[in-house]
């Protein structure tokens, strides 16, 4: 009985080792496929995309894209640039109204959930003639996010719409955007 139990345990161990080896081999194979797709034709959201962290939100982008902070007045502003395209963003309490002129039928307008937040996504029916953007009206308390690119080619517009799908919220506000402390009280004689 004891020998049969030892053989049964050894067989289970062997099966576990075999399955682990198969999983590792499959993982290595899919990693190689993802790397090959990065060097191929059209980029898709894959392992070759990297995270661009803007603080209160992040976005995935193909290699070569960069994040730049810009000077804002009453909100946190910046841009993501790469592949000849620039996406400008405005994050704060007053970050709305950028797409009020973008109306159907010249624009495709969709309301959808991206990363558990409701977003209005707009894009011109004729690429290269207008604004491609996303507006998230309620994120991080009373803040909203508006992100857009202008006059994007058909390929850039397709890429940017895929990038919008990867936006996620939850990081800290940059320190330079936090409100300044109140001024010291005036001295009364």
Residue 132 lies in a domain: yes
Q: Same domain, yes or no, for 121 and 154?
A: yes
At residue 46, the pLDDT reads 61
Residue 186 lies in a domain: no
Pairwise CA distance, residues 50 & 118, whole Å: 24
Q: Same domain, yes or no, for 6 and 56?
A: no
Residue 183 lies in a domain: no
For 69, residues 6+ apart whose C-beta sits below 8 A from its C-beta are: 77, 78, 174
- The tally of CA atoms less than 13 A away on the side-chain side of residue 57 is 31
CA nearest neighbour of 144 among 120, 160, 163: 120
CATH number of the domain enclosing 70: 3.40.1000
Query: Could you identify the residue written with the tokens 């959808």?
Result: 112
Q: Same domain, yes or no, for 14 and 92?
A: no
Residue 131 lies in a domain: yes
Residue 82 lies in a domain: yes
Residue 87 lies in a domain: yes
Per-residue pLDDT of the chain (189 residues; tens, 9 = 90+): 555 445 445 444 444 334 333 333 343 333 333 333 454 434 456 678 999 999 999 999 999 999 999 888 888 999 999 999 999 999 988 887 788 788 888 999 999 999 899 999 999 999 999 999 999 998 878 899 999 999 999 999 999 999 999 999 988 777 655 554 566 778 776
Q: Same domain, yes or no, for 61 and 95?
A: yes
Q: Same domain, yes or no, for 59 and 81?
A: yes
Q: Same domain, yes or no, for 94 and 22?
A: no
CB 123 within 8 A of CB 102: no
In the beta sheet, which residues pair with residue 139? 143
Q: Same domain, yes or no, for 75 and 15?
A: no
Report the domain count for the chain: 2
Q: Same domain, yes or no, for 98 and 133?
A: yes
Q: Same domain, yes or no, for 57 and 92?
A: yes
At residue 117, the pLDDT reads 94
Q: Are strands 57-61 and 66-70 parallel, antiparallel or unpaired?
A: unpaired
CB 67 within 8 A of CB 86: no
Q: Same domain, yes or no, for 79 and 101?
A: yes
Residue 176 lies in a domain: no
Residue 175 lies in a domain: no
Domain that holds residue 138: 50-169
Q: Same domain, yes or no, for 26 and 84?
A: no
At residue 185, the pLDDT reads 79
CB 131 within 8 A of CB 99: yes
Q: Same domain, yes or no, for 129 and 154?
A: yes
The single-letter DSSP state of residue 162 is H
At residue 138, the pLDDT reads 87
At residue 3, the pLDDT reads 52
At residue 177, the pLDDT reads 55
At residue 17, the pLDDT reads 35
For 106, residues 6+ apart whose C-beta sits below 8 A from its C-beta are: 124, 125, 126, 130
**Cα angle 147, 55, 168; round to 5:** 60
């Amino acid at each position: 009985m004891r020998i049969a139990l030892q053989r049964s345990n050894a067989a289970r161990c062997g099966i576990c080792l075999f399955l682990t080896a198969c999983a590792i081999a499959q993982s290595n194979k899919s990693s190689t496929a993802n790397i090959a797709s990065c060097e191929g034709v059209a980029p898709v959201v894959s392992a070759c995309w990297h995270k661009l962290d803007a603080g209160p939100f992040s976005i995935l982008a193909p290699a070569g894209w960069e994040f730049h902070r810009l000077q804002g007045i009453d909100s946190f502003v910046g841009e993501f640039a790469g592949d000849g395209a620039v996406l400008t963003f405005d994050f704060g309490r007053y970050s709305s109204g950028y797409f009020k002129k973008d109306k159907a039928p010249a624009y495709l307008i969709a309301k959808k959930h991206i990363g558990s937040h409701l977003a209005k996504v707009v894009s011109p029916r004729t690429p290269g003639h207008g604004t491609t953007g996303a507006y998230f009206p309620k994120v991080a308390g009373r803040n909203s996010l508006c992100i857009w690119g202008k006059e994007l080619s058909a390929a850039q517009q397709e890429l940017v719409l895929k990038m919008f799908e990867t936006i996620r919220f939850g990081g800290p506000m940059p320190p330079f955007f936090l409100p300044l402390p109140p001024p010291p009280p005036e001295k009364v004689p």
